[in-house]
Structure 1
Amino acid sequence: MDGEPLVRWYWIGDRLGYLLDLTRTHAVIALVPVLIALLVAVPLGLVCARLPRLYQPVSVVLNVAYALPSLALFVLLIPYTGLATRATVMIPLTFYALAVLLPTTVDGLRSVPESVRQAATAMGYGPWHRLAAVELPAALPYLISGLRVAAVSSISLAAVGALVGLGGLGELFLNGFQLTFTTPILAGIVLVAALALVTDLLLVLARRLLAPWAVREKGAAQ
């Protein structure tokens, strides 16, 4: 309508608790799959780094899954996981995150020069000690970089869950579209972007704390 404001600030002010609840729900729906994918990616990446013939078919399967539209996967899962359940949305998001995290894990593990592995072995490091002290720390910057991509992508994709009856910030987009009301749509956009930004900044901080040598190397290269 003519004269309709783009944002009705009183609507936002009256629903701060509601918006906070949606943001919390969205964070759980989006980030728990990333955590699950991380727990799978590390051991699977270790196996794939040791067995290159296994890595290729696993990578192909995950890339195909990543290429599938998220809404189509949500709909396909509804008969098995139910409508408006977290599993319907979180299972595809886990596969999407795994498709990002597995290659970065494998690349990180492969980044350790063979001479470094041999030197660790010569110092008396067993396979598990070498993995914990040498290989995983070397893979950490790669893994966190993958986590940044996976987390931001998952936060964005989780908004589609509203179309299958699940809450989260996507509910604002759906309601705004149905009511032809721009305020909840814009509020949803800002909150999704803010959640993605905060998550990314926390992961950058984690990289600085857990892998400070990688930050120094990057600065020296520049």
Structure 2
Amino acid sequence: MRATPRDAATSEHLHPIHRADLPSGTIALARFLIGKVLVREDGASFLTGRIVETEAYPPGDDAAHHRSGRTARNASLFLAHGHVYVYRAYGTAMMLNVSSEADGVGGGVLIRAAEPLSGIDVMRARRGTDDIRRLARGPGCLAQAFDIGFALDGDAYGAGNALWFADDRSKPPRIARSVRIGITRNADKPWRFFVRGSPFVSGPAKLNRA
């Protein structure tokens, strides 16, 4: 696997979003992150992707991991907004989430899909496919492409850390919303946000026409 080092050409157009500038509130954060750039640094590689799909899991949501209160496993969801929460779904796929409420209040945003921007060769090697549309389309694929694991759980998000968000001042996307995917509780809530018309968005076509 070929590493992709950070250099001026890759990062000079990225403007870090400070944690204090992230909106506090799950629905607001889920919408805010659409179109922003996800940055993953691990010393050997510098990967970026434009976030094109998120889902909100706010306080009081029966579909959320925090619904039964704080535990050792979901504790990161109860940290102040802007902390990383990682869990394994279906026994195999890692999922990247960001805490989204005040300290002590459970809430999180699931990062569901991204359009790869840099470090694409590394992502292709990790995912075992050359199809750029499949590298980070769906939360499990995104986590594999960006090497998201339990080691990141509980980390404070921020520039200079292993995971952070940036604004590259690109044209604002057309944001649409729909019900969430793959859940049975609160399945009617329109808490999924995505870039309308993006080929990198996951989910069924009928939802993506919303």
TM-score, normalising length from structure 1? 0.25
Larger Rg: 1
TM-score, normalising length from structure 2? 0.26
Choose between structure 1 and 2: higher strand proportion.
2
